Amino acid sequence: MNYRALPDDRKEQFQEYVEYAFSLEEGPQDDYDWDPDDQPDEPRALFDGDRMLCVCSHNWFRTSLRGREFEMPGLSAVASPPEHRRQGNVARLLAESLAEYRERGDFLTALWAFEHPFYERQGWGIANKCGRYECAPEALSFARDSPLAGGEFRPVDRDEYDRLAPVLTAADEGYELTVQRTEEWWRKRVFSDWRGDAYVYGWERDGDIRGYVVYRVLDANEGKRLHVEELAAADREARLNCLRLLANHDSQVEQVSIYGPPETTLLDAAADPEAIDCEISAGPMVRLVDVPAAFEALEYPTDLDAEFSISVADPLAAWNDGTFRVAVADGRATCEPADEDRPDATAGVGALSQVYVGYHSVADAETFADIEVRDSGTRDALVAMFPEREVFLRETF
């Protein structure tokens, strides 16, 4: 088996694999609306001789967690044709990707799963939940009647992406794993993607854009649906006026759907909360690439002085699959391989990843995931090192 960057002469085959995996209902294509060379990610492939078995792409993100900024690869476009499935090829592709990330010095990665149980078996864990509201546009008419209604709406051009970035920063304050978007990402993943251009409207107050909405209008069985891919507002007034913009489409669409963080305040703001459906679903998944490097990357409470051993089970990364001794002092940690018959804690790498990013508290991980802590001192140390956090990785890739 050979894992490598996608050769130039396999670009069309890469497109075929991805389209078959994610757009099967559209049938075989003679040409494609997207070009791998024009995307902000880097494709890879697994070969057996001349046969291309499966493919993926790597996005090179910069994110932050617990006060630390770092690179976090985003794995996407994992695809295999039916003739190469059920042979372990995708697992090999994932293992090779992790090895590439580790060689780069990365210690955390993320993906959006086509099937959560599959990726859970490979060592990934859910990073955050996502929220989705759906309603008739009339259900948002309360925004028109608010004393905060005012300001101006206008289309935003992709050349103005830098005027939207501060709004997104304000909207994402308090969330972990927010991505520092590049100009290329704004242009090719927000204003446009493989489906074509999106509508982008901003709400201005005193000449400054304080809120914006990215949306597409889709045909559905119940009629046209305005699907909001991103609604970002710097404050309550801006958010309410963005909702007013959506309400103003009542003559054009039958439904509005809004994707965002898993919060339910729109139900409190609405005049008739029963007119709005709210759904919470599983979001992206994360995985520790390098357990020792991850432990040593963060800063911890300076008054924490602790030492414990933890045994990690990892089905793909042999360098993670074993027992480690962790020592914390003066706000930093060391993590070294250890040979112990009865470690103080055991964890699957996916569950440990969830605790690491803050999705699960230690107690929740013991209840809902495969972490076992055998003594109170170790539990107290883990709780102090990894308190629960609000996580929302909004990028789709």
Q: Please give, one letter per residue, the 3-state secondary structure of 352-384.
A: HHHHHHCCCCHHHHHHHCCEEECCHHHHHHHHH
Torsional sign, CA 138, 139, 145, 151:
negative
Mapped onto helix, strand or coil, the DSSP state of residue 190 is helix
Give the phi and the psi of residue 269 in degrees, each rounded to 5.
Answer: -80, -25
Give the phi and the psi of residue 393 in degrees, each rounded to 5.
Answer: -90, 100
C-alpha atoms less than 13 angstroms from C-alpha of 130 in its C-beta half-sphere: 18
β-sheet bridge partners, residue 327: 307, 334
Write out the two tokens for 37.
């060379």
DSSP state of 24: G
Residue 72 near residue 62 (C-beta atoms within 8 A)? yes
- Residue 312: name the closest of 371, 379, 387, 384 by CA: 371
pLDDT of 152: 96
pLDDT of 366: 98
Q: In whole angstroms, give the CA distance from residue 392 to residue 175.
A: 6
Q: In whole angstroms, give the CA distance from residue 353 to residue 161.
A: 33
Q: In whole angstroms, give the CA distance from residue 140 to residue 138.
A: 5
Q: In whole angstroms, give the CA distance from residue 279 to residue 177.
A: 22
Residue 220 parent element (H or E): strand 208-220
DSSP state of 83: G
Mapped onto helix, strand or coil, the DSSP state of residue 209 is strand
pLDDT of 248: 97
Give the phi and the psi of residue 92 in degrees, each rounded to 5.
Answer: -65, -40
What is the separation of C-alpha 180 from the centre of its chain, rounded to a whole number of angstroms?
13
Mapped onto helix, strand or coil, the DSSP state of residue 169 is helix
pLDDT tens, position by position, for the chain (397 residues)?
999 999 999 999 999 999 999 999 989 988 887 888 889 999 999 999 999 999 999 999 999 999 999 999 999 999 999 999 999 999 999 999 999 999 999 999 999 999 999 999 999 999 999 999 999 999 999 999 999 999 999 999 999 999 999 999 999 999 999 999 999 999 999 999 888 899 999 999 999 999 999 999 999 777 999 999 999 999 999 999 999 999 999 999 999 999 999 999 999 999 999 999 999 999 999 999 999 999 999 999 999 999 999 999 999 999 999 999 999 999 999 999 999 999 999 999 999 999 999 999 999 999 999 999 999 999 999 999 999 999 999 999 9
Q: Which amino acid is at 112?
A: W
Give the phi and the psi of residue 390 in degrees, each rounded to 5.
Answer: -85, 120
User: b/e per residue, 70-108, with b = 16+ CB within 10 A?
Assistant: bebbbbbbbbbeeebeeeebbebbbbbbbbbbbeeebbb
pTM of the model: 0.94
Q: In whole angstroms, give the CA distance from residue 230 to residue 242.
A: 11
pLDDT of 222: 78
pLDDT of 178: 97
Q: Which amino acid is at 35?
A: D
β-sheet bridge partners, residue 223: 220
pLDDT of 32: 86
Domains annotated on the chain, with CATH: 2-106 (3.40.630.30), 130-281 (3.40.630.30), 290-385 (3.30.1050.10)
User: b/e per residue, 254-281, with b = 16+ CB within 10 A?
Assistant: ebbbbbbbbeeebeebbeeeeebebeee
- The DSSP bridge pattern shows strands 322-329 and 306-313 to be antiparallel
Write out the two tokens for 196.
């074509």
pLDDT of 187: 97
Full strand arrangement of the beta sheet holding 42-48: 2-5, 42-48, 51-65, 68-79, 108-111, 285-288, 125-126
pLDDT of 20: 95
- Residue 138: name the closest of 258, 253, 263, 278 by CA: 253
